[in-house]
Amino acid sequence: MEQKKRFTVSASGRIKRAQAFKRHILTKKDTKTKRQLRGTTEVHAADKAMVRSMMPYA
């Protein structure tokens, strides 16, 4: 599994990820919902150790 395309590590060490539910079936989603799904967010603390173990140089 290629992880470098899914996660980025910031300079402070935080792991950022893209928002889910923004790839297809966008016609039935509200404009407000699609607008709030823009950008990136931080990986949850419960998943941080697992994601970091999958990244070779993080």
pLDDT tens digits, residue range 27-46? 999 999 999 999 999 999 99
Residues 6+ apart with CB under 8 A from 27: none
The pLDDT assigned to 5 comes to 83
Split at pLDDT 50, 70, 90, the class of 57 is confident
The C-alpha atoms of residue 33 and residue 26 are separated, in whole angstroms, by 10
The pLDDT assigned to 2 comes to 57
Three-class SS state of 34: helix
The C-alpha atoms of residue 8 and residue 21 are separated, in whole angstroms, by 19
